Amino acid sequence: MSDIPLIETPDSPHVNALQPSPNFEPRKPGYRPNLLLLHYTGMHSCQKAIDWLGRPESKVSCHYVVADDGTITQMVAEDMRAWHAGQSYWDGVTDINSCSIGIEIHNPGHTQGYPDFPDTQMDAVMRLSTDIVGRHRIAKGRVLGHSDVAPQRKIDPGEKFDWKGLAAAGVGRWIAPEPIDDGNWSLAPGARSEKIADAQHLLRTYGYGVHVTGILDQPTAFVLRAFQLHWRPTGVDSRLDASTLETLRRLVHTALTDHAVARKSTRRQLWQLSSR
């Protein structure tokens, strides 16, 4: 429990209510918010989730909670380190709490029927997320689900979450997944193949925590499931197939292209400034 004063004013104009949580602390030195992490609450009631996130004994929290009616509650100030990611990894970083802003989206989760995310709720998530990524200049590839950074432990926000719609609103990256062809090749956990090594390399390039072994071991299967939950939600089976690999190839190609374009634009801006 932190002895720093609780949040008194919202960071976003889209916040409807403040419910301060004591479960936060300063971000570790050298870290700033550069990643947006989306979760679902996994509880039957949104109010019960907010209550739990605000209890000292829970030792968990988040920056925002979005109810199914679109109400947005802020619990921790954005400049503070909320306790929402747990043991996690992305692109070489293991302290995801120190570099992220966490949004809990109310949904009972897979163990309680996993209903669709209502349009009103998704509209609120899009408005809040657009505001956050704009103010903190969060890159497209750093808008992620809890399952992306903790694939062995988490599967939220899950295959029903509208990543495509979020990207259309300017938040995160989306590419259309390669259609599934049941007649094509498919590799199950335990298989060994150069295709698996290729997939592991591509997953690691994008930011996932996976070793390149050429074996579809259990850790790789978890990461493939996380990738499918986010990028190929119509077929989440932890297997490597032609659809998953081609979708992954195009995702990494798009990310590398975006990065190259951004670097070129930065160099052009620096040249223009230096030539004035």
Catalytic residue among 104, 178, 194, 246: 104
Strand partners, 144: 37
The pair of structure tokens assigned to 210 is 């996976």
Give alpha helix (H) positions in 84-217: 96-99, 119-136, 146-149, 163-168, 194-206
Q: Which of 53, 55, 36 is nearest to 45 (CA)?
A: 53
For the chain, helix, strand, coil in percent to 5 are: 40, 15, 45
Examine the residue annotation and report whether 104 is marked as an active-site residue of this protein.
Answer: yes
Please give the Cα distance from 157 to 162 (Å, whole number): 9
- Any idea what the Cα angle at residue 36 is, between residues 75 and 242, rounded to 5°? 140
Query: Tokens 């947006």 belong to which residue?
Result: 36
Compute the distance between CA of residue 255 and CA of residue 249 in angstroms, rounded to an integer. 10
* Opening angle at CA 265, ends 259 and 269, nearest 5: 145
Active site residues: 104
